A and B are shown apart, each in its own frame.
Chain A
Amino acid sequence: MRIELEKRPKVSALYSILSPFIAFALTIVFGGIMFALLGKNPVAALYSFFVEPLSEVWSLHELAIKAAPLILIGVGLSVCFRSNNWNIGAEGQFIMGAIAGSIFPVVFYEWQSPLMLPLMLLLGMVGGALFAAIPAFLKAHMNTNEILTSLMLVYVAQLFLDWLVRGPWRNPQGMNFPETRSFGVDAILPEMLASGRTHWGFAFAILAALAVWFMMRYTLRGFEITVLGQSERAGRFAGFSSRKMIWFSMLFSGALAGLAGISEVSGAIQQLRPVISPGYGFTAIIVAFLGRLNPLGIIAAGLVLALTYLGGEAAQLSIGVSDKVTRVFQGLLLFFVLSCDTLIHYRIRLVRERFAALKTDEAH
């Protein structure tokens, strides 16, 4: 006996909408069972996961801060993935964007000007895009596998940042600790609202999502991305160049990752350190697929994922579960969402193993 996934002839519109809710319900049921088995009150646990972080203003701000880079990178990646280009190295582009954007506040730290921030953001995008240009060039002209090259460049970026903050960019007044100067006032991305810490990075994320949504839906470019992604041959007949698309999609996603990088550094960290991202570039891949590669879906997905991080912390405190349990719970949620989505497009079929029966026949 064997289990096969078989493509459904028709995708149910109703279940496409219901699927996230079913997944959520399943998570609650199984998560509740898990908490009960651990001897914790399931209601209190689920409350601290999903409600507590939303019940206070400061916590909503934290949610926006955590979600902003995920959404911004995820939106860029969705364009890439839709056009059938697999940029796995957003983490590296995030870091290189942050480095490029930090040139002015770190090296020319005495320069004060209202032009500082716009310049930093621009350089951040350029830095991310240039770093993504490496796998784009290699794929477009040498036919290399961009999954491999973009992924491996992440390590290059991480080590380059590490070298910078321990070497040439180390803060001369920092007691030899590996970090750059703190950014000046002009170089700090301001807060959006008076009520909390959310900086403009969150606005960039939402604007980027709306812009990409518009592009995918109403422009020729969006059509080109979709066609080339689904069938390169069909795209060629329509006069689209897949080589140009490689360049466009990689540079675009790289630029958004770079913007996320400099926004995070300028808005939240305010200096460079050996590690500036807890893996946003990789988590954003999950966010992109969780949002079904739809920019508006990605906003929701980014917020949900950020919520589970915050909820995990709240649960550690209020009911005293370990950090590992909260990770398992996060995994449960992702598992159910992705498997429910899979079952919209595929159905499970049990195939009886006939091979074994044949073999015994031959023996006679």
Chain B
Amino acid sequence: MKKLLLALATTTAVLGFASAASAQEKAKICFVYVGSKTDGGWTQAHDIGRQQVEKELGDKVETQFLENVPEGPDAERAIERLARSGCGLIYTTSFGFMDATIKIAQKFPDVKFEHATGYKTAPNVATYNSRFYEGRYIQGQIAAKMSQKGVAGYIASFPIPEVVMGINAFVIGARSVNPEFKIKVVWANTWFDPGKEADAAKALIDQGVDILTQHTDTTAPMQVAAERGIKAFGQASDMIAAGPKTQLTAIVDTWGAYYVKRTQAFLDGKWETTSSWDGLKDGILTMAPYTNMPDDVKAMAEATEAKIKSGELKPFTGPLNKQDGTAWLKEGESSDDATLLGMNFYVEGVDDKLPQ
């Protein structure tokens, strides 16, 4: 009973505060970052999105953020602090914030939450993610055209579905150009560690790959590729500065479009919970300029990008086999999203054993 009363009191207090706030001042839109906002990768991409919200809706909203928030109990506290300080809409930008977001959302039913890359929703919790794999498919096609040896190196972070999905999309793209194409994978077991990522890059190049791609956040692999004179792809942010003669293209996370759209809906009172999974056509990811490649490869990449945007091409479309040669998708059959979001198997052409 005591708890209930307290909850009621808190709710009314929050309600009172929220209505008072909207009458007098701008709505507060808040962000929780797992890393530093200048990390050059994942978190920085989210912060650029936040700045876009400030720029486009600055007369109606103000933004706040907490950075370097560790996942776990600290995240719960950070999110609660934001909810209590009068934030109306809170973006929690790491997978590991999922349970903390859900817990705090139950306590603050009048605050809206958006959680990146997770799968748990609630009436006041939406999730959003990006179809990064569409960019991976284009990268794979470019790699198959550019590689002399027909082998690319892939620096992966953790064996979660999103990363496995990226590896598979890359291989499928590459094999659509060169059916013999292979990739080697190194698991760095980190999102952000320049030393480990550089070591992984060196190991892969020593094993004879002549194209490098990464699903980790620093520019270290790009720099190693530049030193060794091979080509590479950037990740999360445009990494052209780290390899002006090396980067072929990069998958650039452009969350800003989504943030502006959802914040606008919130301001209009039309915010509803969703599980959004946007792709190239929605502008939530963009390809950095296609550089350091012949014109015909560039033309192919642009054509593929256009086809993905128009919906004509879906990367996970059969005929496709799993790594062990068993059939997965029949001719013309496309994978459903649920399979992709829980992906824990490789397709044919990956020279690695998936850590289980």
Contact = CB atoms under 8 A, between A and B. Distances in A.
- Say whether A and B bind each other: yes
Interface of A: 56, 58, 62, 65-66, 162, 166-167, 175-178, 182, 194-195, 264, 268-269, 271, 273-276, 278, 309-310, 313-314, 316-318, 320, 322-324
Interface string B1-26: 01100100000000000000000000
B54 to A, nearest CB: 13
Interface of B: 2-3, 6, 36-37, 64-68, 70-74, 76-78, 80-82, 84-85, 95-96, 99, 119, 158-161, 189, 341-344, 355-356
Given A167-B356, A273-B71, A313 B96 contact: no
Nearest to B33: A323
Max chain A C-beta neighbours (<10 A), residue from B37, B65, B81: B81
A268 B341 contact: no
A269 B119 contact: no
Contacts of B85: 317-318
Contact of A58 (B2, B84, B189): B84
Contact of B72 (A275, A309, A322, A323): A275
Contact of A166 (B6, B95, B161, B355): B355
Given A176-B344, A313-B78, A317-B81, 5 more contacts: A62-B77, A66-B73, A176-B159, A194-B3, A313-B81
A323 B82 contact: no
B77 A166 contact: no
B67 A323 contact: yes
Q: Which 9 A-B pairs have the closest CB atoms?
A: A268-B73, A278-B70, A323-B68, A176-B344, A323-B67, A194-B2, A175-B342, A62-B77, A176-B161
Given A268-B72, A323-B67, A177 B95 contact: yes
A62 B355 CA distance: 37
A166 B159 contact: yes
Nearest to B95: A177
30 contacts: A58-B84, A62-B80, A65-B73, A66-B77, A166-B158, A166-B159, A166-B355, A167-B356, A175-B341, A176-B159, A176-B342, A176-B344, A177-B160, A178-B160, A182-B99, A194-B2, A268-B72, A268-B76, A271-B99, A273-B72, A273-B96, A275-B70, A276-B72, A278-B70, A309-B74, A313-B78, A314-B81, A316-B65, A322-B37, A323-B67
A195 B6 contact: yes
B67 A322 contact: yes
A317 B73 contact: no
A162 B119 CA distance: 22
Contacts of A62: 77, 80
A275 to B, nearest CB: 7
Nearest to B1: A194
Nearest to A176: B344
A324 B66 CA distance: 11
A175 B81 contact: no
A276 B85 CA distance: 27
B279 to A, nearest CB: 20
A275 B3 CA distance: 31
A275 B71 CA distance: 8
Nearest to A271: B99
